[in-house]
Amino acid sequence: MPARIHRLFDAVGACILLISLLSGSALVVRGAGDRVRQYTRPVEFDYFDWTVDAVWGKWVQASISSPFYFEPSSRHALVADYLRLQEQILEAENRLGLIFTDPAIPDPEQASASLRLEMAGLYSRHDRLAPVAEAVLESQVNAVLAGLGLASGGQAIPPALFHITPLPYNLIVSPRDRIEQETSVSLIPDLTADRQAALETQVDSALGFSSLVVPVGGIGAYPTMVMRTTALDWLANTIAHEWIHNWLTLRPLGIRYDAGPELRTMNETTASLAGNEIGLLLIQRYYPELAAAANPGGPWKISLPPAPIDVDDLRRPFDFRAEMHTTRTTVDALLLGGMIEEAEAYMEVRRQVFWDNGYAIRKLNQAYFAFYGAYADVPGGAAGEDPVGPAVRALRDQSASLADFLHRIADMTSFEELQAAVSP
């Protein structure tokens, strides 16, 4: 066992070094980033301290090999217990927020005393259970990756290490005259909505950009960062998605993540496609009751698309992806014609349409499309008519296996290479 642990952490150490040198995802700031950071430095996220804490936790967990002390059925139950606990914590935090918001409660400190005591117990239990649940899921992801031919000697490189944690926000910056991510900066997790809006106004007014602070579900640091959730299917997909980013970072495509919008979309769409496939295989192998159907009486949560805002409304349901696709293509046409103000006015009108149909989009602008348009694993939506996503999907369809697809696209350094690979 000790030899296995030493080999694992030799690989981890090498991967951390390489990823820190090569990663171009949300951690690297170039070009316009220096000007933007004049305004973001006080609220930027500290990746160094976070990584040191996360790596230490993983080291301690691996040194005792905790997942291997449990039978498979016990590992299954442990993950279920963790998700139940996560749901209790999220519900308690919501109740606490309501107490401090309700104007009818004159003394929220006193009114919330028993709840805060209950939450302290939940947090204490979470601190004990979370590392073991993460280790179980890591071992399961690594086993699935090995079965797909994405491992060396039975060990994925880099090992699939992740940590569930409050995630940084991401400030996305785009030029106003076109939709393109100019730079991005990671911000502290507790940045309130009013401070987000104030920061965007500062950047836009002073530098002439279109900016937007967005939440993210995962970040390809190492160990990877994953948002808190009670949906195991979403969690499995996200762990795999972020592992793919780290795997690509050690290869030409990932190294060139920031070389242009086409390469960023190739990276993100590849990670989304592969992450969904790997996540589904994990669920089928280790949690088959989820793969068959949702179990309303069980501990699991299945992440489902939002329902129409009014289920009794007999009108044709609002198609979010189709409407967002229409919005993006119209904006692209307006910007191509040099009509920047008209495009921005149109986006605000469309934002209100989405709001009226139950989609609370705080700001719809060039930066919104620059960020969400890169995730093109499903046709339509914010990507508009961008040809990169369809080409990535075509390459996956033409590949004999997921591993074949990943090895083919990982060696590419331009969109032209991808186009040549999928041309008839």
Give the pLDDT confidence score for residue 154 in this predicted structure.
79
Q: Name the nearest CA neighbour of 414 among 268, 259, 302.
A: 259
Mean pLDDT, to the nearest integer, of 235-258?
Answer: 95
53-67, 192-206, 244-258: least confidently modelled range: 53-67
Does any domain span residue 274?
Answer: yes
Give the pLDDT confidence score for residue 344 in this predicted structure.
97
Mean pLDDT, to the nearest integer, of 356-374?
Answer: 93
Domain range for residue 59? Answer: 2-292
Mean pLDDT, to the nearest integer, of 221-235?
Answer: 91
Stated pTM of the model:
0.82
Q: Name the nearest CA neighbour of 362 among 191, 188, 212, 227.
A: 212
pLDDT digits (tens, 9 = 90+) for 123-140: 999 988 988 899 999 999
Q: Name the nearest CA neighbour of 416 among 387, 393, 396.
A: 387
Q: What does pLDDT average to over the chain?
A: 85
Cα(223)–Cα(16) distance, rounded to whole angstroms? 8
Q: What is the largest CA-CA distance in the chain?
A: 70
Give the pLDDT confidence score for residue 24 in this predicted structure.
40
**Could you tell me the pLDDT band of residue 297, with boundaries at 50, 70 and 90?**
very low
pLDDT above 90 coverage of the chain, percent: 59
Does any domain span residue 344?
Answer: no
Cα(280)–Cα(82) distance, rounded to whole angstroms? 20
Mean pLDDT, to the nearest integer, of 362-368?
Answer: 95
Mean pLDDT, to the nearest integer, of 355-363?
Answer: 90
Does any domain span residue 381?
Answer: no
Give the pLDDT confidence score for residue 62 in this predicted structure.
65
Does any domain span residue 316?
Answer: no
Give the pLDDT confidence score for residue 292 in this predicted structure.
59
Decide if 185 contacts 25 (C-beta within 8 A): no
Give the pLDDT confidence score for residue 307 in this predicted structure.
43
Mean pLDDT, to the nearest integer, of 88-113?
Answer: 88
In 183-329, DSSP assigns E strands to: 183-187, 210-214, 218-219, 224-226
Does any domain span residue 363?
Answer: no
Decide if 22 contacts 249 (C-beta within 8 A): yes
Q: Which residue did the predictor score with more confidence, 62 or 251?
A: 251
Does any domain span residue 365?
Answer: no
pLDDT digits (tens, 9 = 90+) for 14-58: 555 544 444 444 444 455 778 999 999 999 999 998 988 888 877
Tell me the CA end-to-end span of the chain in Å, nearest whole number: 51
Q: Residue 87: is its pLDDT beyond 60? A: yes
Does any domain span residue 371?
Answer: no
Give the pLDDT confidence score for residue 175 in this predicted structure.
96
For the record, the structure tokens of 377 come out as 């694993």
Does any domain span residue 413?
Answer: no
Cα(163)–Cα(44) distance, rounded to whole angstroms? 20
Residue 202 C-alpha from the chain's centroid: 26
Structural domains in the chain (count): 1
Q: Which helix (H) or strand (E) holds 363?
A: none
Give the pLDDT confidence score for residue 64 in this predicted structure.
57
Decide if 183 contacts 30 (C-beta within 8 A): yes
pLDDT digits (tens, 9 = 90+) for 179-226: 999 999 999 998 888 899 999 999 999 999 999 999 998 998 889 999
Decide if 420 contacts 391 (C-beta within 8 A): no
Cα(328)–Cα(312) distance, rounded to whole angstroms? 30
pLDDT above 70 coverage of the chain, percent: 84
Q: Residue 386: is its pLDDT beyond 50? A: yes
